[in-house]
Chains A and B, each alone.
Chain A
Amino acid sequence: MSVHININKICKSYDDVEALKDITLSINAGEIFGFIGPDGAGKTSLFRILTSLLIPTSGTATVGDYDVVKDYKKIRQSTGYMPGRFSLYLDLTVEENLNFYASIFNTSLKENYDLIKDIYIQIEPFKKRRAGDLSGGMKQKLALSCALIHSPKLIILDEPTTGVDAVSRMEFWELLKKMQKRGITIIVSTPYMDEAALCDHVALIQGGKLLAVDKPENIVKSFKGSLFAVSANNMHKLIYDLDNLMNTSNVFRFGETIHITSNIDDDLLYTENAHKHLSESGYHNITINRVEPVIEDCFLALMDQDMVKG
């Protein structure tokens, strides 16, 4: 038993700012669906529409069989929502927060202990501690427990991993996978591109528009051109010179290397060419390797395209 979602031509404006521009997509029952995009991309607005907290300016959306505007009571009963700011009472203890959220859904911690056991067990040693005194990772786990306490069929998590360290983030995703195995549909948003690979489907979103919606591996496959990782002795200067020498706009620093997208088909020719240009410009320790793109490369390329179009 889980819930599929249909979003049809949703637009949302605040005064004269368009937060969402014509969003259409569907989310399958039982999958983990990720909205990947920076702050201000429109993720929160979309989630608030799905949880019936906002009314779209135009367009419709259904969660299961329920319309997000007309059937808001039904949606609120069956959805677990974890807002961006975690929505915890900082002056209440861990246990009191959970009990409270259980009670407003007419259930109790005891009744649904099994559901949240995997998560709760990690924070249970601190159950008498006030939520305000917890670290970011623990707050996040508590907030997830609170969103799950009424055994919803759908959970919507708005940036659950923002500001949380890499280890806590990894543990959090492991928990989400466990939830998914119970048949819960999970919608999650994140600004961290590397988390895209953990979702079944992702939507890349930027400036209220969808850049792409697909399986993460398909998004990576649809990357146009070949990607090269370049490094040399003076990385800072290199990025400007690559921009000029190689005649391409897709030059982005990526970890210890610089990723550039080739504009010709012949990889070998391109590499040799680049090598020659760079050594002529006085660089040494030059390495140029063809690499497989990751989601962030795709996002950058799509953003770039979008800017050229816009």
Chain B
Amino acid sequence: MRAFIKKEFFHIFRDYRSMVILFGMPLVMVLLFGFAITNDITNARIAILDNSKDIVTHQITQKLISSGYFLLEKNITSQNDIEEAFTQGKIKAVMVFEPDFARKLKTEAQAGVQIILDASEPNTASIINAYASGIINTYSLVLMKGLSDLPVKINVESNMYYNPEVKSVYMFVPGIITVLLMLVSAMMTSISITREKEMGTMEALLVSPLKPYQIIIGKVMPYVVLSFINLIIILLLARFVFHMPVQGSLILLLSESLLFIIMSLALGILISTASKTQQQAMLLSMFALMLPTILLSGFIFPIKNMPLILQYISHIMPSKWFIIIVKNIMLKGTGIGYFWKETLIISGMTLFFIGMSIKKFKIRLE
């Protein structure tokens, strides 16, 4: 078995192009998502239509501007000017405070701010929306403590609490960890097993006294190690480049990752039993694993915005559950008590896939 694992490492290290990709990918992905494809905005120009002009609206306006995200382009005075303000093209949003804002807040415990957005850039618009309502909500909470215990009628983005600086890299790191663990574990194992089939060396392994589980463990062990190295690279990058600490227990994070890696490996073996060539294995991993991991796990697109049917499908995505766990540990710093259910789901999936792949792994050539 030791020799088997050694041989597997030889394969990996000899093919340095793949190795560069394997280790370069976490770097590139984290840096790309952290810097380039950023969701952060700075100095977005806004206009304000303050129909109330009281102390509260004034304070909210100050909060918005002092946040650094927004730049007050102009104050407008009537509803009719909104259209014109947009057509000039400089501003991205208009905040409209309803009349008697402060008084309504005091007597009725709710008051309305309307955010009108230039949706021709949907992404920016939604970010501005999120940031602005975040700032307003934060303010309203401060206000609430002094005023009343009645709830305030504005939606609060829950992640705001745990990401007070609203840095998008915080959101992406758990997703990148998930994608990479999945990719390295499942895709690389399935490819390396099918390569043996293609090269005809599987024939020689099968006629040897090696037992199927020995072949499987020998093939997957190196990828456990590689996945772990990748995980650590990402965590180090997050910590030292983006100053994103792991709030919860590191040991817990690593153990949960190990569980997820084992599940991905089992999936990889399963894929390899279903494919005859490396190409098939790669395409299968891409379509069956990568795309759903990126699209349906809540990594990029929030699950709750999806059509109902996709929401149901997302439940069977192991990555969805793993992202929840990672976010919990990394951002909220919570313990296993908060995500034992998710852990259980992944454990169940792991057992299922291991069982399936052992059952499907053939001791003969047919």
Contacts and interface: CB of A to CB of B under 8 A. Distances in A.
B206 to A, nearest CB: 6
Given A103-B4, A104-B3, A83 B204 contact: yes
B365 interface: yes
A83 B11 CA distance: 21
Interface string A73-112: 1001101010111111111100010011111111000000
A90 B200 CA distance: 11
Nearest to B14: A91
Contacts of A96: 7, 10
A170 interface: no
Interface in B183-217: 199-201, 203-210
A76 B215 CA distance: 15
Contacts of B4: 100, 103-104
A91 B14 CA distance: 7
B365 A53 contact: yes
A87 B203 contact: yes
Contacts of B200: 83-87
B11 to A, nearest CB: 6
Nearest to B365: A53
B365 A92 contact: no
Nearest to A97: B7
A158 to B, nearest CB: 9
B165 interface: no
A88 B3 contact: no
Interface string A52-85: 1111000000000000000011001101010111
A124 B4 CA distance: 22
B12 to A, nearest CB: 10
A88 B201 contact: yes
Contact of B10 (A51, A53, A92): A92
Given A87-B200, A103-B4, A76 B208 contact: yes
Nearest to B10: A92
A157 B14 CA distance: 29
A54 B14 CA distance: 33
A48 interface: yes
A146 interface: yes
A88 B201 CA distance: 6
Contacts of B7: 89, 92, 96, 100
B18 to A, nearest CB: 11
Interface string B7-19: 1001100110000
Contact of A100 (B3, B206, B209, B366): B3
B208 A104 contact: yes
Contacts of B207: 51-53, 76, 79, 81
Nearest to A101: B204
A83 B3 contact: no
A99 B10 CA distance: 13
Nearest to B366: A54
Contacts of A88: 201
Interface residues of B, number: 23
Contacts of B254: none
Contact of A55 (B14, B203, B208, B366): B366
A104 B2 CA distance: 10
Nearest to A89: B201
Interface in B78-100: none
B364 A53 contact: yes
A17 to B, nearest CB: 14
Interface string A28-61: 0000000000000000000010011111000000
Nearest to B13: A91
* Of listed A77, A103, A106, residue having the most chain B CB within 10 A: A103
Contacts of A100: 3-4, 7
B199 A146 contact: no
B365 to A, nearest CB: 5
B204 A91 contact: no
B295 interface: no
Contacts of A102: 3
* Of listed B204, B210, B365, B366, residue having the most chain A CB within 10 A: B204
A48 B204 CA distance: 11
A51 B209 CA distance: 12
B10 A104 contact: no
A105 B199 CA distance: 20
A309 to B, nearest CB: 31
Interface string A126-153: 0000100000000000000010000000
A74 to B, nearest CB: 9
A102 B11 CA distance: 18
Interface in B158-203: 199-201, 203
A146 B204 contact: yes
B32 interface: no
Nearest to A80: B207
B364 A55 contact: yes
Contacts of B210: 104
B11 A89 contact: yes
B147 interface: no
B252 interface: no
A105 B208 contact: yes
Nearest to A81: B207
B204 A72 contact: no
Interface of A: 48, 51-55, 72-73, 76-77, 79, 81, 83-92, 96, 99-106, 130, 146
19 contacts: A52-B364, A53-B364, A54-B364, A73-B209, A76-B209, A81-B204, A83-B200, A85-B199, A88-B201, A89-B10, A89-B11, A89-B201, A92-B7, A92-B10, A96-B7, A100-B4, A100-B7, A104-B3, A104-B208
Interface of B: 2-4, 7, 10-11, 14-15, 199-201, 203-210, 363-366
Given A76-B207, A76-B209, A81-B207, 7 more contacts: A73-B209, A76-B208, A85-B199, A92-B10, A102-B3, A103-B3, A130-B14
